[in-house]
Structure 1
Amino acid sequence: MDTKNIPEDKMQIVRYLAEFAVRPMFRTPLFVKPEEWGIDNYEDVYFQSSDGVPLEGWWMKAENSNKLIIANHPMPMSRAGFCGHFGEPWSNVDDIKIDFVKIWAHLVKAGYNVLAYDLRNHGTSGSANGGICGIGRYEWRDCVGAKQFVDSHPILSKMDVALYSQCTGANAQFEALSKHPELFENITCMLAPLAVSMEALMGSFAKLQGVEEYLDVMDFEQLKFGGYQNKDMNPQFFADAVKMPLLMTQVLDDIWTDNPSDGQKTFDLISSSEKEMLWIEGTTRRFDGYNYFGENPKQMLDFFEKHL
């Protein structure tokens, strides 16, 4: 592709956005630990994705409970959340603090075991695919590995299981359901915050940065990095594989994804006979949506109480 007629300042933006789309440019550390929210009974766990990538997580234990929620996270976060409040490089994405452990604590205190794990190339899990994130297109293998770990575990395998699958993790889980429906037949329900189409996300980013006319160049740059084109990173390809009861959330006025159109389209394609969309209002910041259940746990807890 000939890019010589594109102004250099515009091309720098295009390259930056292309790299952001397909490569976590930093890792988010485990900056919040379970004990900080009163989860004293937990252990570190280690297992492999279905293609052999080493994955790490926490099994946070609820006393005398046979219920388990498998939880993952968005790119570029970790099972602990996101530390934009630390400053650069994280604040280059957003300066917000996202605390997933606060959410896990709500669930543990309500009587649910939580297995929260880091996707490949994130947190403390292993590197793979040249460090490229597929926004689900590689990470579905991690969802498969987490479920295989549960099914082979002497204690976890006896539990009733639900999913808390977020953004990249939701996209990944949708694809895992599509590729291996038999593995997930016993899943009781799924909570899916902020599943995302990368055409919507990167199209909005390009518009905000004034380079929306160069989306084809951005796709080409992503291929050069070794990643996918934006049109190929879309949960809508696999949404019809979701058949269990579902609660999905989106930020209604999210300026990063042009919601409500993209989130609504994904939701409409879900096959579940029992599904609900929770629109988070009062903010235009997508990252506020990840903190929602930490601050407002009732609907989450009601959903899991009904179905798990």
Structure 2
Amino acid sequence: MNTEELDTVLDSFATGLAYSSRSPLLRDPAGEGLFYEDISYPSSDGTPLEAWFIPREGSTKLIVAMHAFGFNRYGFPSHVEPWKSAFGPHNDSEINFIRDYRILHDNGYNVLAFDFRNSGLSGAANGNLQSNTRFEARDVIGTLAYVKSRPDLAAMTLGLFARCMGANASFRAIDSDPEAFADVRCLVAPLLLSPLVFLETQLERAGLGEHLDEVNRRFRLLTSTSLGEGTTSRWAPSVTMPTLTYGVRDDVLTRPSDLEEAFAAIGAKEKSMFWIEGTPRRWDGYQWFQRHPERILEWFESHMS
């Protein structure tokens, strides 16, 4: 690889982490036989957010669901290009989170699932930058404010199901505004991932591990922050509600130590973690709940009854 080619590759790593990329919503809850409302409300800084509210008749329990980086409330269309190639050959099948909402609904929960800014159908903001959940944390706080503003939702028992970036954004939001989470009974936060660790593993797979600092420098020039600011364990001590996390031990996009350090740093007295074994596919983590919902449902039930 010559100097010009290397420069292009390093730029692609930096820009890929710095800017959110929209993926399309290919399905809606009606496809799973679910009645739903299309709703819209502002983030805490005014950015318009789009969401689905899936009511469960007679239920007074609400789960707010949050998606991963590059995903949206529907999931991720990694069965079609260009998204099929986005996260490597092990992660190229469709992720459909609406199946998760079906399970939650059938087990007695109302569900609110929203698109983060610069994702799905939510508003563009901050020059389309993704700055280590600094901005996305505002979307979590805005969503909880919306819940409190609706008389039919405000009195409901509240839990969060926040995946990957959604979990990181929730951690940072809790750190910045703990009072906004006073009514949250519990959190399920699978697939926690620090962006610097993600970058390091991807550079190593490409044989470019020695360029980590250079890509981080380029990221800072784009976003005015370093990737280290997004380290999950930095914000985890503020998370004091009961928290369950899990990950894929052999996940090719990260390292086990990153999740283990984040879990150790979580400030909750009641917390739990487990590993998904025998696969390198992070996508198996995203699909774990719809394949094996028992443990996650038990966590919600034990803290939201």
Cα distance, 1:9 vs structure 2:
2.5
Please, which of 117, 122, 137 is the counterpart of residue 120 of structure 1?
A: 117
Cα distance, 1:8 vs structure 2:
2.5
Contact residue 22 and residue 227 of structure 1 kept, 8 A: no
- Which residue of the partner structure matches residue 147 of structure 1? 144
Aligned amino acid, residue 49 of structure 2:
L
- Which residue of the partner structure matches residue 33 of structure 1? 28
Indicate whether 1:222 and 2:219 are aligned.
yes
Cα distance, 1:227 vs structure 2:
5.5
Alpha-carbon distance in structure 1 between the residues aligned to 2:259 and 2:271: 14
Indicate whether 1:102 and 2:99 are aligned.
yes
Cα distance, 1:68 vs structure 2:
0.3
Q: Secondary structure at the match of 1:193?
A: coil
- Which residue of the partner structure matches residue 51 of structure 1? 45
- Which residue of the partner structure matches residue 186 of structure 1? 183
Q: Secondary structure at the match of 2:166?
A: helix
Alpha-carbon distance in structure 1 between the residues aligned to 2:214 and 2:85: 26
Aligned amino acid, residue 306 of structure 1:
S
When normalised by structure 1's length, the TM-score is 0.94
Alpha-carbon distance in structure 2 between the residues aligned to 1:166 and 1:139: 13
When normalised by structure 2's length, the TM-score is 0.95
Quick check: 164-173 or 214-223, which moved more? 214-223
Q: Secondary structure at the match of 1:155?
A: helix
Aligned amino acid, residue 208 of structure 1:
R
Deviation string, structure 1 residues 61-101 (Cα, Å, up to 9, x no partner):
11100000111111100000000101224433342211111
Cα distance, 1:172 vs structure 2:
0.6
Quick check: 227-236 or 199-208, which moved more? 227-236
Deviation string, structure 1 residues 6-65 (Cα, Å, up to 9, x no partner):
7233222211111111212x31211121111221x2101101111110001000111100
Indicate whether 1:91 and 2:104 are aligned.
no
Aligned amino acid, residue 17 of structure 2:
A
Contact residue 251 and residue 279 of structure 1 kept, 8 A: yes
- Which residue of the partner structure matches residue 203 of structure 1? 200
Contact residue 87 and residue 95 of structure 1 kept, 8 A: no
Aligned amino acid, residue 189 of structure 2:
A
What stretches of structure 1 move > 3 A for 4+ residues in a row? none
Contact residue 158 and residue 183 of structure 2 kept, 8 A: yes
Alpha-carbon distance in structure 1 between the residues aligned to 2:107 and 2:61: 11
Alpha-carbon distance in structure 2 between the residues aligned to 1:65 and 1:224: 48
| Runs of at least 5 residues in structure 2 that lack an aligned partner in the other structure | none
Alpha-carbon distance in structure 1 between the residues aligned to 2:227 and 2:142: 25
| Runs of at least 5 residues in structure 1 that lack an aligned partner in the other structure | none
% identity of equivalent residues: 37
Question: Where do 1:216-295 residues align within 5 Å?
Answer: 216-226=213-223, 228-258=225-255, 260-295=256-291
